[in-house]
Each structure stands twice: as structure tokens, then as C-alpha cells.
Amino acid sequence: MDSILDGLNSAQQAAVSSPSPILQVLAPPGSGKTKTLTARVAYLLSHHGYRPQDVICCTFTIKASREMRERLAKLVGNRVQSRLVLGTFHSICRRYLVTYGYLIGLRRGFGIADSGDSLAVIRVLFSFSFLLFCFVLFWVCFWIGVYGFGSMCAVVLLCYAMILTDWMGLCLLVCFAEDPEAVTVWYSA
């Protein structure tokens, strides 16, 4: 048996050795998802000839990302592991938005808005003088009616060169829709 598959149950082995180029692994906590994904990456590199930079390995937690990085370094070596596109969903999105964010108007050096930043924007939106209140109220109602309050906050955050964490994936997709060539460059980098 292949050493990459050692220690995996039959379902995990099936996921690791699947011929599909795209794979989603869903399982409850503590069931071996990180172990399975790590083995899958090593398997793609060793058995299917994938280049490390062509493999995007995305997790939802920093802990899982670190664990995958350490396990992959043991399986494929530090040099290969360092060339993988590996991280949390948000860190990978941020990495590419730094490069391609200009396509959707993101300024260089944009920040990621946390809940404190979002509350500050809401306070700014509602702290205008009373003379501007009617004008602002009209636009607030317009934005809430058409796009929702979250969209209005997102637009204001963009003015401050910030984006919401929840919007990072959407922003990246919009970047790629604006310039399909960027997908090719990103994919082949």
C-alpha cells in the first residue's frame, strides 16, 4: 500500500486517491479532515504530477492551516510545501486581493474591517449634522431598500480602504469576473 494512504480509513483513502481534480471534504470535528486533505495534497503531487503552486489547499481555521503546513512539510519536504497555495479561506482571498483588488477599486494597503471598524462606520453614518440628516436618510433608505444595510456599510468601508471579512471571497470573484486573464495568471503563477 502507498505510504501516503497509511493510517487512513477506507472513506479517507477514497477521497485522497480520487481522480477528480476538485474535491470537497465534509466531516464532523475530529474525524480526520486535516489528515485527509494533507494526504490528498501529497497524493496529487506525487501520483498526478501537480505542481505545488497549482494546488490550492484551503481550510477554515488557522489551527488546521498550521497543522496542514507542518504535516505537508514532513510528507513532501519544506521546499515543496512552501510553494503550495495553503491557508485559511480568508488568508488566501486576502493574498490575491492584494494583487488583483485594483480591478474592483480596492486601494493598495487596504485593511480588513473588524466589528469595531464596522461599528465606527455606522456611527459615522449617523453622526452627520441635522441639516444633512434628510439627505443622508434618503440615501440610507435607498441603499437599504436596494442593497441592504450591510452593502451601504461595505461601500463606506471601501472609502476608508477597508473591506469586510465576509466579503473577501465575493470581492475575489468580482476581480476575476472583471479580468478573466487574472484567473489564468493566478492559476499558473
31 annotated to a ligand binding site? yes
Residue 145 counted as an annotated binding residue: no
Residue 113, annotated ligand binder?
A: no
Q: Which residue in the block uniquely carries the three cell numbers 480602504?
A: 161
**19 appears as a binding residue in the annotation:** no
28 is annotated as contributing to ligand binding: yes
Terminal-residue alpha carbon distance, the chain: 34
Beta-strand relationship, 56-59 and 85-88: parallel
**Residue 128, C-beta contacts closer than 8 angstroms, at least 6 positions apart:** 136
33 annotated as belonging to a binding site for a ligand: yes
Do the annotations mark residue 21 as ligand-binding?
no
Is 34 within any annotated ligand binding site?
Answer: yes
Q: What angle do CA 170, 109, 178 make, to 5 degrees?
A: 35
Q: Binding site for ATP, residues?
A: 27-34
Binding-site residue numbers are: 27-34
